[in-house]
């Protein structure tokens, strides 16, 4: 593929993941415009020729153009990748809507639920742009720093729009960034949002030094919770045992590059929540989405004790020690996913 023949692509969100995607595409010869609502972040990127706040140690190649003006960033593009935190997703799309024509496609690389409504981000996009707007979700086990460093990974792009899937495959797929396609937008989104809450739980367990057995149990039962919720919302079972489900869950729960796991580790060691967040220094999506996922599960009558317990801990209604005791004291039952 010759990246120079492709139109410029706009990435909205200049955090670690947005920067990593920009670096990857630029190295493939593609022109990338990167924008953030935080003008100071973009100004610093222009001055430093790097994103020293979120992705230090990587110079920005000439193909990356940081921009403070959203209208200029999306002018003439065919594809926009939205990588803002889930809490800012709706507002970003609302700003984007009057600036783009009907031909522009949206790919969501954020993970989470809408803060105001608890909707999946794809539902928010459909509400703002209608179902006719081509929409895709990019998700899977992929730490930003490893992608920026050129280390291999495999992810999923899900969409109901086949031309968009084909074009995203052309843009992204390579031996070090393997793309798998799917039409299960809901399943991919649910896996990406919910695994962050389970990662907090496994971090708490490891922070309390409960051992590898406990971590494995939490990951496995956490997957059962994800499957129960995801299939109830219309996702496909096979999605949750693939890269954007089990793959992303294992990565986020087992490696300290995960901000969600690190938050859990701090809580398990008895650290203060606000202090732990400040030390991490970036958005912890699992903390933001624990309440939304617990409420979504309750609304659909889905039993998600791990996610519910994490939410109780984050509200200071339960200590980490008491929470683990409650989980371990739950009544014995069949391991069937529907139980």
338 assigned to some structural domain: no
Could you list the residues known to form a binding site for NAD(+), using ranges: 13-18, 144, 259
- 188 class by beta-carbon count within 10 Å (0-12 exposed, 13-18 middle, 19+ buried): buried
Q: 173: how many CB neighbours lie within 10 A of its CB?
A: 17
* Residues annotated catalytic, as ranges: 195
Task: Tell me the CATH number at 207.
Answer: 1.10.1040.10
Q: Are residues 170 and 47 in the same domain?
A: yes
Exposure of 213 in the CB half-sphere (CA atoms within 13 A): 2
CA distances from 279 to 266, 274, 287, 311 (A): 10, 9, 15, 20
Confidence (pLDDT) at 282: 87
Could you list the residues known to form a binding site, using ranges: 13-18, 54, 111, 140, 142, 144, 195, 248, 258-260, 283, 285
Could you list the residues known to form a binding site for sn-glycerol 3-phosphate, using ranges: 111, 140, 142, 195, 248, 258-260
Q: Are residues 22 and 164 in the same domain?
A: yes
74 assigned to some structural domain: yes
| Phi, psi (rounded to 5 degrees) for 107 | -120, 125
User: How does 139-163 read in b/e, with b if 16+ C-beta sit within 10 Å?
Assistant: bbbbbbbbbbeeeebebbbbbebee
Euclidean distance between the first and the last CA atom of the chain, given in angstroms as a whole number: 48
333 assigned to some structural domain: no
Looking at 129, 160, 183, the residue that finishes a domain is 183
Strand order from edge to edge, sheet including 9-12: 64-67, 32-35, 9-12, 79-82, 105-108, 135-139, 153-159, 177-182
Q: What is the pLDDT along the chain (339 residues), one digit of tens a residue?
A: 444 478 999 999 999 999 999 999 999 999 999 999 999 999 999 999 999 999 999 999 999 999 999 999 999 999 999 999 999 999 999 999 999 999 999 999 999 999 999 999 999 999 999 989 999 999 999 999 999 999 999 999 999 999 999 999 999 999 999 999 999 999 999 999 999 999 999 999 999 999 999 999 999 999 999 999 999 999 999 999 999 999 999 999 999 999 999 999 999 999 999 999 989 988 899 998 999 999 999 999 999 999 999 999 999 998 988 887 777 677 667 665 544
Q: Give me the domain span that covers residue 235.
A: 187-328
Looking at 183, 216, 251, the residue that finishes a domain is 183
Q: Are residues 233 and 169 in the same domain?
A: no
Largest pairwise CA distance in the chain: 60
How far is it, in rounded angstroms, from Cα 295 to Cα 289? 10
Task: Tell me the CATH number at 157.
Answer: 3.40.50.720
Domain count, the chain: 2
pTM, whole model, 2 decimals? 0.93
């Amino acid at each position: 593929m010759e990246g120079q023949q492709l139109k410029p692509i706009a990435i909205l969100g200049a955090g670690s993941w947005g920067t990593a995607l920009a670096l990857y595409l630029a190295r493939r010869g593609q022109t990338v415009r990167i924008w953030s609502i935080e003008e100071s972040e973009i100004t610093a990127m222009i001055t430093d020729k790097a994103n020293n706040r979120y992705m230090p140690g990587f110079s920005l190649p000439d193909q990356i153009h940081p921009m403070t003006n959203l209208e200029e960033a999306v002018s003439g593009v065919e594809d926009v990748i939205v990588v803002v935190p889930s809490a800012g997703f709706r507002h970003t799309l609302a700003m984007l809507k009057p600036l783009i024509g009907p031909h522009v496609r949206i790919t969501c690389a954020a993970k989470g639920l809408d803060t105001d409504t608890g909707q999946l981000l794809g539902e928010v996009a459909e509400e703002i742009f209608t179902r006719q707007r081509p929409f895709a979700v990019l998700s899977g086990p992929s730490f930003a720093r490893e992608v920026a460093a050129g280390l291999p990974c495999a992810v999923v792009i899900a969409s109901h729009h086949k031309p968009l899937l084909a074009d995203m495959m052309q843009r992204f797929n390579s031996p070090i960034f393997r793309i798998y396609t799917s039409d299960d937008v809901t399943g991919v989104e649910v896996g990406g949002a919910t695994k962050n809450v389970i990662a907090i739980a496994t971090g708490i367990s490891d922070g309390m030094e409960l051992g590898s057995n406990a971590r494995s149990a939490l990951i496995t039962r956490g997957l059962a919770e994800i499957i129960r919720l995801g299939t109830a919302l219309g996702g496909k079972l096979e999605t949750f045992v693939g890269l954007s489900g089990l793959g992303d869950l294992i990565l986020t729960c087992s490696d300290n590059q995960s901000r969600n796991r690190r938050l859990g580790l701090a809580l398990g060691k008895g650290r203060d929540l606000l202090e732990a967040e400040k030390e991490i220094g970036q958005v912890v999506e699992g903390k933001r989405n624990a309440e939304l996922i617990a409420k979504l599960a309750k609304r659909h009558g889905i039993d998600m004790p791990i996610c519910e317990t994490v939410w109780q801990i984050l509200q200071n209604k339960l200590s980490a020690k008491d929470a683990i005791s409650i989980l371990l004291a739950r009544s014995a039952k069949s391991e069937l996913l529907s139980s």
